Amino acid sequence: MGAAVNAARDEIEGLLGARQKALAREGLEAELRAPPLDVTLPGRRPDAAGRRHPVSAALDDLVEILARMGYEVAEGPEVELDYYNFEALNMPPDHPARDMQDTFYVATEGHGPTAPTVLRTHTSPVQIRSMLGRRPPLRICSPGKVYRRDDDPTHSPMFHQIEVLCVDRDVTLGDLKGTLAEFVRAFFGEGFRIRLRPSYFPFVEPGAEVDVTCTFCLGKGCRTCKGSGFVEVLGAGLVHPRVLRNVGYDPEEVSGFAFGCGIDRLAMLRSGVDDLRHFFEGDLRFLEQM
């Protein structure tokens, strides 16, 4: 019985093998008879190569300028503890300054830390994180995304900021002004000047809003700058003693300055774009002009 089954298997395998070989030969012959592949056709050129997005370009330039001035990059999370975003920066739970940045809260019930959590409204919490991790002297800059409940031609619910913090012995308002002047000159070019106006941010004292020579009229006065020759670009000040104490520094021993500015706003001013939302819509007709 076994011998008969083996003989049958050999016969079937032999027939299958022969048929497979025949099919392969026919396939090859059909390919050889078909019109040949024309390898001399020119290749298709890829569409225009991409390049950096105007906001990324501004961000890279800012970091490079600050790196030359001795600042290192520090990073922090976009989903941030309320404590770092507000409280440690001298904005307790019912502080009115929170309203201006009114905020996307993140529900944390049931998972992980139960501490209140927000999408960070500014890059200033990185000041706290950096200071908690080390002792002065400290010079950091921190670019990244921030989130607020805003949506109009000059505000988007997500935008970019860069935070700059310097803490050391004997840091003064003069150091802040000098740094800002150089920062603005390096980014916009010679002839761009700064102007400080007293202002209030809970985490600095004194605080200032900083204006730059209007990029549209170069200071002559136009509609964008409402005739003043200056446009507002950033917030700045000397680090509040209470903030220094919150991270365990002694305000009698060290002092510091900080400033924070909107990267998108700087990019808009530098390239004369009047609607922030263009940056985030990904419309090639816009991006190709940048």
Helix segments in the chain, DSSP class H: 2-33, 54-68, 82-85, 125-133, 173-188, 241-246, 263-271, 278-281, 284-287
Query: Please, what is the minimum distance in Å from the beta carbon of residue 201 to ligand PHE?
Result: 4
Residue 76 or 235 having the CB closest to ligand PHE: 235
Residue 71 or 201 having the CB closest to ligand PHE: 201
Query: Please, what is the minimum distance in Å from the beta carbon of residue 235 to ligand PHE?
Result: 3
Residue 83 or 286 having the CB closest to ligand PHE: 83
Beta bridge partners of 73: 141
For residues 91 and 103, is the Cβ–Cβ distance under 8 A?
no
Residue 17 or 92 having the CB closest to ligand PHE: 92
Distance CA 85, CA 116 (A): 10
Sheet arrangement for strand 117-119: 79-81, 117-119, 105-106
Residue 195 or 286 having the CB closest to ligand PHE: 195
List, as one string, the DSSP characters of 61-107. HHHHHHHHTT-EE----SEEEHHHHTGGGT--TT-GGGGGG---EE-
Query: Please, what is the minimum distance in Å from the beta carbon of residue 109 to ligand PHE?
Result: 28
Backbone angles phi, psi at 86, to 5 degrees: -125, -60
Query: Please, what is the minimum distance in Å from the beta carbon of residue 55 to ligand PHE?
Result: 17
Query: Please, what is the minimum distance in Å from the beta carbon of residue 268 to ligand PHE?
Result: 16
Residue 4 buriedness (CB in 10 A; 0-12 / 13-18 / 19+): exposed
Rg (CA), the chain: 31
Residue 84 or 201 having the CB closest to ligand PHE: 201
Residue 230: strand, helix, or coil: strand
Number of neighbouring beta carbons within 10 Å of residue 225? 20
Query: Please, what is the minimum distance in Å from the beta carbon of residue 280 to ligand PHE?
Result: 19
Residue 159 or 192 having the CB closest to ligand PHE: 159
Query: Please, what is the minimum distance in Å from the beta carbon of residue 122 to ligand PHE?
Result: 3
Q: Which residues bind ligand PHE (CB under 6 A)?
A: 122, 124, 201, 204, 207, 235-237, 258-260
